Amino acid sequence: MLVTGAAGFVAAALVEEAAGRGEAVVAVDRAEPLPSLAAAWAALPGDVCFELADVRDPDGVARVLERHRPSVVVHGAAVTSGPAREAADPTGILDVNIMGVARVLQAAHAAGVRRVVHLSSASAYGAAAFDGDALDEEATPSRPESLYSVTKFAGERTALRLGDLWGMDVRVARLTAVFGRWERDTGVRDTLSPQFQATALALRGEEAVLDRPGQRDWVYVRDVAEALLALRDAEAAPSVVNVGRGREWAVACWCGLLAERFPRFRWRLAERGETPTVDLHGARDRRPLAVDRLAALGYRSDWGLERSFQDYMGWVDAHPGMVNPPTSAR
């Protein structure tokens, strides 16, 4: 398996999960992995081969694919942009999130890759995500509005169209709101999870102020990694599959667990007109993803709130400074 964006967040955890199962993985990114990430990979039973390549460079991507000729590619390289980046560098976002998809698919096709799992986002549902029932891959329309959601939806369509043209098995994974180990400010991730933000405040002994409880179908990154491997390995799968737990809990609950673990930490809901210290990335909480298709593949999540919290705290303890880095860290 070859994974792009492997030195980042979700893709890094995917490499870790696969190598932990003894698999050989080619990890590709435009930046070297953090020393702690490289050390974590090296300690696993599977072999991780890191390759430096940028999805904006078609020749570099093609060379890596041709050299390794994997049977499966998981494309995770993306710019997770916020409004400021969208205003300042729209073409840069498009280049990675749409053209990068085309470049990776083209190189994969030339290298004889049989299957591609493309990592997308629930943001592809756009404005349709806030009303009605759980978000369904078929029944819920996609009405993307932000540049990030537009590019994620367009990236999906690009991958699926090229798969049809070239006879490749392309599977799109629409991820719900992910948090957990290896999340950090990578320089291309503008929307750090509320769990990351609250944990950083707890580590500093500062107060977390939320503008609302933040109810959503939050999913731990190890849960996502396990689900992605199930999607990868399924003999047959729908073209688009939601990846989430199908159950909701609130950021306020996470803050409650933090308060039990860190005695100096306090949290509360904001007073009227008060600026929150934790950004929930939007004024409303979107609906959860329907996960019937994922369940039909045989995957059942075992990562609830408390298990996710305990695993994450163990990781935080083992990686001091990762969740509370200096402002210059990447």
In tens, the pLDDT along 116-132 reads: 999 999 999 999 999 88
Question: Is residue 186 scored above 80 in pLDDT?
Answer: no
Q: Taking the model in full, what pTM does it have?
A: 0.95
The amino acid present at 126, given as its one-letter code, is G
* % of residues, the chain, pLDDT over 90: 92
Question: Is residue 327 scored above 70 in pLDDT?
Answer: no
Question: 28: phi > 0 → left, psi -120 to 50 → alpha, else beta; which?
Answer: beta
The more confident residue out of 329 and 207 is 207
Strands across the sheet containing 169-175: 48-52, 25-29, 2-4, 72-75, 115-121, 169-175, 240-243
**Strands 207-210, 48-52: pairing kind:** unpaired
Does the domain made of 2-180+219-243 have the CATH classification 3.40.50.10470? Answer: no
Averaged confidence pLDDT in the chain: 95
**Strands 178-179, 72-75: pairing kind:** unpaired
Give the pLDDT of residue 325: 47
| Residue among 270, 299, 290, 159 nearest 212 (CA) | 270
Give the pLDDT of residue 187: 74
Give the pLDDT of residue 191: 80
Give the pLDDT of residue 291: 98
H-helix or E-strand containing 40?
A: helix 35-42
Buried residues in 170-203 as b, exposed as e (16+ CB within 10 A): bbbbbbbbbbbbbbbebebbbbbbbbbbbbbbbb
Strand, helix or coil for residue 251: helix
**Strands 48-52, 25-29: pairing kind:** parallel
In tens, the pLDDT along 29-67 reads: 999 999 999 999 999 999 999 999 999 999 999 999 999
- Report in angstroms the alpha-carbon separations of 123 from 128, 148, 280: 10, 8, 14
Domain layout of the chain by residue ranges: 2-180+219-243
